[in-house]
Amino acid sequence: MIDLTLTQLARAVFGELRLAAGDTPETVVGGLVDTDSRLMGPGGVFVAKPGETTDGHLFVDAAVANGAAVAIVERPVDASVSQIVVPDVVAALADLAREVVARVRADGDLRIVGITGSNGKTTTKNLLARILEGEGETVAPKASFNNEVGAPLTMLRVTPTTQFLVSEFGASGPGEIARLAGLVGPDVGVVLMVGMAHAGGFGGIESTLFEKSQLIRAVRPGGLAVLNADDARVATMAAIAAEQDASVRWFGRGPRAADVRADDVEVTASGTRSIITADGVSAPLHLRVLGEHHVMNALAAIAAATALGVPLQACIDRLEQVELAERWRMQPLGSDRVRIINDAYNASPDSMSAALRTLAQIVQPGERTVAVLGAMSELGEYSEEEHDRVGLLAVRLGIQRIVVVGPEARRMFLEAIAQGSWDGEAVFFATQDEAYEYLLTELRDGDRVLVKSSNSAGLRHLGDRLGESFS
């Protein structure tokens, strides 16, 4: 965080300052801001967030021992550190992020990119950050820090010399994207797609569309909306951009004209090759991140970066250095003998379909496709239908072994059986341990194995175990 006095900090979060011995209202703090006491260092700001299983107020002393200079709390605690008392520490975190970003923006050359979409946010964020890091100091979220806590914590990492802030905006409920994007008013808003992810929580696809469009409503007047030309729902956001006095930059692969597009896409086990054209200039790209669907994420990153002044060839050179977008996202494990693709950090109907299609595309003659599938979460009333669709798709793609894990995913197995996989091609296991023991004896040389589920299903750990066993 930038340097602030305790008085400035208290004003920013609308809190009551309670000074510790030796501090004054003009004492300056400016270290890391975090909710984890273990991460504190000299001058740090500890946010005592209450949690589901514990309470940050219990760790103020630990934070001080690690260097914290001030604690933001909802109630005073008995600790030898200055405290700022607020009604809600999460709201205070957002207020502080708004203040810090505004100060850096006013005094420096900070440009902000916000990214949202039903799938691909984290990959696109990582690809864009890799491009922008070559231009200047860039701040981007760690992992998937895209919620009401993670997004402000990322924003608070900006310094007076930061040139680019890349923010990823997820949504666990209605209004969250509007709140988070509203903290900073992005210069560039990127919308990747509107799909079924979280549709259960939002009440349907149209509600999801409304929530994702809030990023474009938050773009600064005169800013830029980077939109997916191939997604009809995303395309409707061009009208919102016009209302915001923002211009539109299109990316895509389909027939609709796009400022940044990909042609001649070829998918292999070593990545995806394509010809990228941006504003009439073309160049080849070998994206080593596995999966055809990541070409669209690369296009979105290139569209944003070139709009910020990065030449196309520089974008391509930096993207070609990326081997893995993020752990547990199309992560190659195992060996050439048995290749494990661990993509079990998240799953929606769209990402499940994309991962299965990638598995079918990369297999070579003599190799066998194996899909280890778990449940997709947050689909609400659409859950049964969408799990059925995945089972159907796996059969139609000709996946040779379908291994379904967990009671919540059982409908995938039943649908695969109904579609003709009744002779051992599809099997079901209630637990990961059972599936692991089966796969240890079932997998053979030449197998290409996809492990895919939502984070809550936990199959990423099964993927790791298989990767280690077949390394």
Annotated binding site: 117-123
The C-alpha atoms of residue 42 and residue 31 are separated, in whole angstroms, by: 6
Could you give the C-alpha distances from 279 to 175, 225, 259, in angstroms and in order? 35, 16, 5
The C-alpha atoms of residue 250 and residue 259 are separated, in whole angstroms, by: 5
Residue 118: strand, helix, or coil: coil
Pair 139, 164: CB distance under 8 Å? yes
| Residue 338 C-alpha from the chain's centroid | 28
Write out the binding residues for ATP: 117-123
The DSSP element (H or E) to which 441 belongs, if any, is helix 432-442
Tokens coding 57? 């107020």
Neighbours of 353 (CB within 10 A): 18
Own/partner contacts of 332-336, CB < 8 Å, gap of 24 or more, are: 332/290, 333/463, 333/464, 333/466, 333/467, 333/468, 333/470, 333/471, 334/449, 334/466, 334/467, 334/470, 334/471, 335/470, 335/471
Residue recorded with tokens 């997916």: 228
Neighbours of 354 (CB within 10 A): 21
Tokens coding 407? 């009671």
Handedness of CA 127, 132, 137, 138 (dihedral sign): negative
Single out the residue of 388, 385, 330 nearest to residue 356, CA to CA: 330
Pair 466, 439: CB distance under 8 Å? yes
